[in-house]
Structure 1
């Protein structure tokens, strides 16, 4: 099973990239997390190009299609999601309703340097993904005070409770992949 990890932050050393790597280390055997690294290369969404998307957009679609599920880790920018992440979702949501996100099991997590762990951004991502047709888990995992949340600068959470919650969320995502769409959409 393949989970595509998408960080809403473009920064290489971002807390959300660390959160994706922490998630990858907690996955059960037989499940891999592949981190998608092309967010910065996507052009701004242009409806005129919807039927003939540029090569970076096609590559993004293919990465989503190859994945059994998505794990999105988002920071919070100005009380919402980052523009580059929203742009990626806009591309992937087209053409509606037959897009690459349709029925795709998706979990959203987030880390921020503030107390609330990108809660608003996570809500915005869940809302836009649902509107795009993805099957989005309601669970959230806010990682606040992210400068201190990772063990000695490593890609692992230092709080055992947060680690357990992340592992539970990943278990829910894996189970969602194994649940028929008809049963999960009711």
Structure 2
């Protein structure tokens, strides 16, 4: 690997160990085994490097999730595997929620996340057998909401059976709905 790749790998390691805002340029340079000047030369700024490292880490999780969801299974088995992916990527989810709190003050980060979100919706729709961004948005909402609950309380977060039961209640017709001919 060259300095550029070493920096990206070191930045990802720092993100997982320290989070986005506690990672310094010196931390990254030390983890990568390169000089501080290499960050400016290859990426311009520490933030640009961290943003690229975060995008790459999110893509790696998405690939992991894609492999996970490619396995056949019913709703509950599929969502159990989604939850297992949270275990493998816990630091990445923590970083994403850390960043959400700062997006109002960081427009370039918000724009980057918005673009990644649009791509994620399309990718999630495809993983669930659809080309509809709406389907991807629902799955993204479920994944993000479940990840947030799981980060706070893994033992108390909804199980796949809870999700399925709740969704069935939400989409069921009201009890007084007229039944068609």
Task: Provide TM-score, normalisation by structure 1.
Answer: 0.31
Whose Rg is larger? 2
Which structure ranks higher in relative contact order (CA pairs < 8 Å, sequence separation ≥ 6)? 1
Instruction: Identify the structure with the greater helix proportion.
Output: 2
Instruction: Identify the structure with the greater strand proportion.
Output: 1
